[in-house]
Amino acid sequence: MHHTILGGRVTLADGTPLPLSKAIRAGDFVYLSGQLGFDEQGRLPEGVEAQTRHCLRHIGALLASAGAGYDNVIKATVWLTAVGDFAAFNRVYAEAFGDTPPCRSTVVSGLVLPDAKVEIEVVAYAPV
């Protein structure tokens, strides 16, 4: 099956390319790589709530580039670095998905960037 890269490749702040794509459309499905909570200046703000909002903003923009939105998301996988952040994360997450949330798995583990508190990846069903 043919697929299309959306949003371009991922690069580090110094321009070094990483071997992954931000998102890919394959038929009627859109797969997003895990999104971190970088702000507009490329920094990770303090706190899981702020980082979750930025993750969701990035997800919304990538979905929009595929002609989709949060209502098209069918599965989410979330990584948190602290179990104590779960309630605060859920409050912000619920703002995006409301009464029709996708299936979701949430895991507590370390992330590659030391200041990152949350990473979210999603799969969306968005018929062309």
pLDDT at 1: 64
Residue with token string 């949430």: 106
pLDDT (tens digit, 0 to 9) for every residue of the chain, 128 residues total?
Answer: 689 989 888 887 778 888 999 999 999 999 999 999 999 888 999 999 999 999 999 999 999 999 999 999 999 999 999 999 999 999 999 999 989 999 999 999 999 999 999 999 999 999 98
Task: Transcribe 8-37 into DSSP letters.
Answer: EEEE-TTS-EEEEEEEEEETTEEEE--EE-
pLDDT at 13: 72
Structure tokens at 79: 């990584």
Query: Which pTM does this prediction carry?
Result: 0.93
Short-list 37, 48, 119, 38, CA closest to 86: 48
d(CA 108, CA 88): 14
Give the start-to-end residue ranges of the domains of the chain: 3-125
Q: Which residues pair with 26 in a beta bridge?
A: 3, 29
CATH superfamily of 3-125: RutC-like (3.30.1330.40)
Q: Are 22 and 13 in contact (CB under 8 A)?
A: no
The strand pair at 103-108 and 73-80 is best described as: parallel
Residue 33 CB neighbour total at 10 angstroms: 17
